Amino acid sequence: MGQYSTVARDGHLLVVTINRPDVYNACHPMANEELAAEFDRFAADPELWVAIITGAGDKAFCAGNDLKYHAELRARTGDRPKHPPQGFGGLTARFDLDKPVIAAVNGVAMGGGFEIALACDLIIASEQAVFALPEPRVGLAAGAGGLQRLPRTVPLKQAMGMMLTGRRVSAEEGMRLGFVTAVVPHAQLMAEARRWAELILECSPMSVRATKQAVLRSLDVADQQKAMQNMNYPAFAAMARSEDTIEGPKAFAEKRKPLWKGR
């Protein structure tokens, strides 16, 4: 257990909880550093295949930057808070993580909190979740990937409508816009996030990593033919020579569940 977060391991699944409920799980540099270290360990551990990130309490996933700390630091030193190289929450600038991460959004996801969720592969939302990039309302801008990820996830005019006004979007509207994967009653949130994690864990982790890497890297290639022909992705190559790629067809032929090795 860290000072600003908790971690629970369940087989191949890791659950990370931002644990600052007294400030709506807002993150300051120390919390971001701690989360970055936890996701460093997740990335490096071959026995961890999927992660869920959520917030402590019933009110907030993460309210973003700890503005009180931000203001006090500026008044005291004139400096702005610095995020770790891996970004806000240890995730928003982590571009080399091929393992899937699920955001279980239990309440307010504002600013950097929404940016953490957008950096995840799935967003499972409580029906009481609320999303926004409100930085312009406090003289800031969403500098941890929200300005880039949201327009890549929903239509541009809808994204601009959120970003230029800082307006709040409900979980149901987020589902309609397309950045939320599923919405469930609040009490069922973690069960639903774990259900999605288990569905991923039914698949070969080698295939899951190859899929995530190929999808995200191919988004950089505008020409679809070039994106399809350029399958020189390291995770795809690793899958092709893995034990899992032998085990999968063998288990299918033998009418049994595959025993994935993740190598």
Helix and strand counts by DSSP (H, E) for the chain: 11, 10
Q: Which of 33, 38, 135, 192 is catalytic?
A: 135
Structure tokens at 245: 């790629």
3-state secondary structure of 228: helix
Output the six-digit token pair for 108: 């307010």
Q: How far apart are CA 226 and CA 218, in angstroms?
A: 9
- Residues with Cβ within 8 Å of 186's Cβ and at least 6 positions away in sequence, in order, are 58, 106, 126, 127, 128
- What span, in angstroms and rounded, lies between the C-alpha atoms of 107 and 109? 6
Q: Could you give the C-alpha distances from 66 to 19, 58, 86, in angstroms and in order?
A: 13, 18, 18
Active site residue 135: yes
Nearest in space to 181 (alpha carbons), one of 169, 202, 196, 199: 196
Please pick, among 47, 115, 198, 247, the residue that the annotation labels catalytic: 115
Question: β-strands 13-18, 50-55: how paired?
Answer: parallel
Residues forming the active site:
115, 135
